[in-house]
Amino acid sequence: MPDVWENTRSRWESVRHAVDGGPAAGVVAATLHGRPGLSVNPIAVTGEAGVGKSVLYDALTQSIRTGDHDSSRSPDIEKHATVLRFGSRRTRAAVTVIPGQLSTQREKALQDTMRGDASPHGIVHVVAWGHNRIWQRASQRDVHAALAADGDVDQEAVRNWHRRKEVADFRLLVDEIIEGQAAQRLRWLIVAVSKCDLYWDRLDEARDYYIPGQAPRESPFALLMRDLENETSLRLSVLPMVSRLMRHQYLPGLPLGTSQLDDAQIGALRTYFGQELHSFITQRNGH
């Protein structure tokens, strides 16, 4: 039986080939017609600040198009009872976007949705391979100063900065799930590797960073994914995703990152991600 990570890689690659114009192996076309089911599927969207959680939600509900204007920082918990549309398929979901910043709002959101008796059935954990946005000038200056103290301040250094934070954040989530303190009725977890249009030319590196099993030395993130596989019965997936076209400012003074994909390719990524999400939401059993 193929290993779960081989399947995950194969799914990742089929999406990549489809976006690059090749055949979409293993991708099921959205041919089912139907009404949304009666059950409401609780889903939590988690991830670091500035990673694009709210924009991902907007993309999934098709309330933004790929070329829409810039977003703003979400100040509070976002709760939505919504019907997610995946092609002709529709699914009811109660989606809570959990703030990424350590804050009273994040604590409340975690308490309401993940702790005690509350639990989502699924988590979409958003990461961006180090392409998080830093909203405040003062924080940008601090990051610049901290990086300068350790060496060169370039795009790679900024990416590493965010990836370390991303791992620390994911470790908290994984620990809480494994130790049974959070999300006790959780059935699945999808890692959305977002903003991948900014690093499409390095997608293999991102894949090997997030999916265990290929790199000679697994990344700290991949090790946490392995922990989830070994310690829980969750259905897991890792997929590339882009919510909308955008330029990325690593830090003031550094060159901007620009999208390497066009509208149609981003549309394809959104479709594939939506299909995966739909299949996870509607699953009734484990693997």
If we measure between CA atoms, which residue out of 201, 273, 200, 275 comes closest to residue 238?
Answer: 273
Binding residues for other proteins, how many (CB under 8 A)? 26
According to CB under 8 A, which residues from 157 to 176 bind other proteins? Answer: 161, 164-165, 168
Q: Name the segment binding other proteins (CB under 8 A); options: 133-141, 177-185, 266-274, 275-283.
A: 133-141
Q: Which of 38, 69, 138, 152 touches other proteins by CB under 8 A?
A: 138
Question: Measured between alpha carbons, how far is residue 130 from residues 47, 51, 161 in Å?
Answer: 12, 9, 7
According to CB under 8 A, which residues from 25 to 64 bind other proteins? Answer: 49
CB of 77 to other proteins, least distance (A): 9
Nearer to other proteins, 44 or 269 (CB): 44
Nearer to other proteins, 99 or 120 (CB): 99
Binding-residue pattern over the window 90 to 129 for other proteins, x denoting contact by CB under 8 A: ---------x-xxxxxxx----------------------
DSSP 245-265: ---B-SSTTSPPB--SS-HHH
- Residues 6+ away with beta carbon under 8 Å from 4: 229, 236, 287
Rounded Cα gap, residues 73 and 129, in angstroms: 19
Q: Name the segment binding other proteins (CB under 8 A); options: 23-31, 138-146, 204-212, 262-270.
A: 138-146
Rounded Cα gap, residues 142 and 64, in angstroms: 33
| Contact between 83 and other proteins per CB under 8 A | no
Residue 187's Cβ-count burial label (10 Å; 0-12, 13-18, 19+) is: buried
Binding-residue pattern over the window 203 to 242 for other proteins, x denoting contact by CB under 8 A: ----------------------------------------
Q: Name the segment binding other proteins (CB under 8 A); options: 69-77, 117-125, 209-217, 229-237.
A: 69-77
Q: Which of 145, 148, 256, 264 touches other proteins by CB under 8 A?
A: 145
Give the H/E segment covering residue 43. Answer: strand 41-47
Question: Measured between alpha carbons, how far is residue 228 from residues 88, 91, 120, 197 in Å?
Answer: 32, 26, 16, 27
Tell me how far the alpha carbon of residue 226 is from its chain's centroid: 17
Nearer to other proteins, 62 or 135 (CB): 135
CB of 268 to other proteins, least distance (A): 34
DSSP 94-125: EEEE--SSSSHHHHHHHHHHTBTT---SEEEE
180: left (phi over 0), alpha (psi -120 to 50) or beta: left
Two tokens at 210? 């997030």
Q: Which of 143, 183, 192, 198 touches other proteins by CB under 8 A?
A: 143
Q: What residues line the site for other proteins (CB under 8 A)?
A: 49, 73, 75-76, 99, 101-107, 134-136, 138-139, 142-143, 145-146, 149, 161, 164-165, 168
